[in-house]
Amino acid sequence: MRSAPVPNGVRRWPVHPEPGPGEALTSWLGRLAGLYRLSVEQLLTHNLGPASAQLDVVRLRDADLDYQVPAAVLRALAARTGVAVGRLRRMTISGCVPWLADTLNPADGWQAFSAYVRQDSVLLAPGRAGYHVVNRWVPWLPARSRPWRTARRVCPTCPADRGILLLAALPLMISCAEHGCRLERVHEVRRAHRHGEPMTPGPVPDAVAALDRLTFEGIATGSVTLPSRTVHVGEWLRLLRTLLDEVSMVASRAGPGSAAMLHQVWDAVDLPFRAGLNLWRPYERLSPSRQEAMLQAAATAVQLAADGRIIPGVHVVPGKFWSNFADLH
**CA nearest 122: which of 279, 326, 328, 327?**
326
pLDDT of residue 246: 95
The answer to whether the CB of 324 falls within 8 A of the CB of 228 is yes
Task: Give how far Cα 262 sits from Cα of 94, 114, 122, 267, Å.
Answer: 35, 21, 12, 9
The C-alpha atoms of residue 243 and residue 226 are separated, in whole angstroms, by 17
User: What pLDDT, on the 0 to 100 scale, is given for residue 318?
Assistant: 37
pLDDT of the residue at 321: 46
Task: Tell me which of 11-20, 75-84, 215-224, 268-277 is least confident.
Answer: 11-20
Q: Which residues in 241-264 are b (16+ Cβ under 10 Å) and which e?
A: bbbbbbbbbeeeebbeebbebbee
Give tens-digit pLDDT for 139-191: 999 865 557 777 889 999 998 778 999 999 999 999 999 999 999 999 999 88
Contact call for residues 259 and 251 (beta carbons, < 8 A):
yes
Distance CA 148, CA 271 (A): 27
Residue 5 banded pLDDT, cuts 50, 70, 90: low
Q: What are phi and psi of 43, to 5 degrees?
A: -60, -45
State the average pLDDT over residues 7-28. Answer: 88
Query: Per residue in 298-312, is it b (16+ CB within 10 Å) or e — as a string?
Result: bbbbbbbbbeeebeb
pLDDT tens digits, one per residue of 87-140: 999 999 999 999 999 999 888 877 899 999 999 888 888 888 888 889 889 999
Contacts with 326 (C-beta within 8 Å, 6 or more apart), sequence order = 305, 306, 312, 313
pTM equals: 0.89
Q: What is the C-alpha separation between 243 and 235, in angstroms, rounded?
A: 12
Distance of CA 329 to the CA centre of its chain: 22
pLDDT for the residue numbered 325: 54
pLDDT at position 9, please?
A: 65
Please report the pLDDT score of residue 2 as a whole number. 55
Cis peptide before 98 (omega within 30 of 0): yes
Among 33, 76, 35, smallest CA distance to 55 is for 76
Which range has the worst mean pLDDT, 209-218, 246-255, 316-325? 316-325
Rg (CA), the chain: 21
Rounded Cα–Cα distance for residues 64 and 307 (Å): 44
Give pLDDT, residue 145.
55
Give the span between the Cα atoms of 196 and 98, in whole angstroms: 42
Beta carbons within 8 Å of 56's beta carbon, 6+ residues apart: 45
pLDDT given for residue 125 in this prediction:
84
Task: Read off the pLDDT of residues 18-72 as tens digits, 9 standing for 90 and up.
Answer: 999 999 999 999 999 999 999 999 999 999 998 988 777 657 776 789 999 999 9
Percent of the chain with pLDDT strictly greater than 70: 90
CA distances from 51 to 45, 64, 79, 158, 277 (A): 8, 17, 11, 34, 48
Q: Which residue has the higher pLDDT, 206 or 305?
A: 206
What average pLDDT is seen over the chain?
88
Cα(261)–Cα(258) distance, integer angstroms: 5
